[in-house]
Structure 1
Amino acid sequence: EGLRMLISEKFKLNQPDGPSDGWLTQDGLWLVSKPAVDQLRAHLLSQGIEHIPTSNAPMFNLLQDQAIIQPNGEGKAIWKASIDNGRGWKNTLTVLKIAPALIWPNAT
């Protein structure tokens, strides 16, 4: 629920002029890994959730173990994505892949 709330209320998706927290594509929902996990951790802690990993690697593992994020071809949580806004900005970012149905279960 925390991730769903962040995506619907805080994260900016598909912002061609930036900044974007992630991108929704036909392949999935891609979130910039560090900011997404940092904000999720902060949200969970603010809700009184205990035993949240304090560093990102264990947090990625937890999300992957819970099938919230989808592993890359090597079974790892982090994907590398080349982003090009078509307006002269290009960058390679580390991202997490999430099935959109986990965030928007009733979307068709």
Structure 2
Amino acid sequence: MNTKDKLKKRVESTREKYEDLDAVSDLGDSLDIEYRVRHDGTINEIVLCEASGGPGIQVLLRKGVVKGVWSSARFSSPISNESLLDELFEHHRSLFQEMRFQGE
């Protein structure tokens, strides 16, 4: 199995994990969470890091896609569980707001 095939398998496995979730509480912690914020303070995208190194796997909640990178190989797969993606986005958005206002 080459790198592209291994990457595809990992991305599809991550997509299936998100497709099968029933609630936000069923999801474990991500390695990292990236908040992409516009100049007006609104969140444009929330990216959950599911794996890093070889391969790097990210879940983009607003776009509803799992993206993977491993060396020069790249692969993406859409997540169809839109209601859960919306719930996850709102959950992480509220956490971001709480963290932001704690510093004030």
Give the TM-score band, short-chain normalised. Answer: under 0.3
TM-score (norm 1): 0.24
Structure with greater helix percent: 2
Which entry has the higher C-alpha Rg, 1 or 2? 2
Counting strand residues as a fraction of each chain, which structure ranks higher?
2
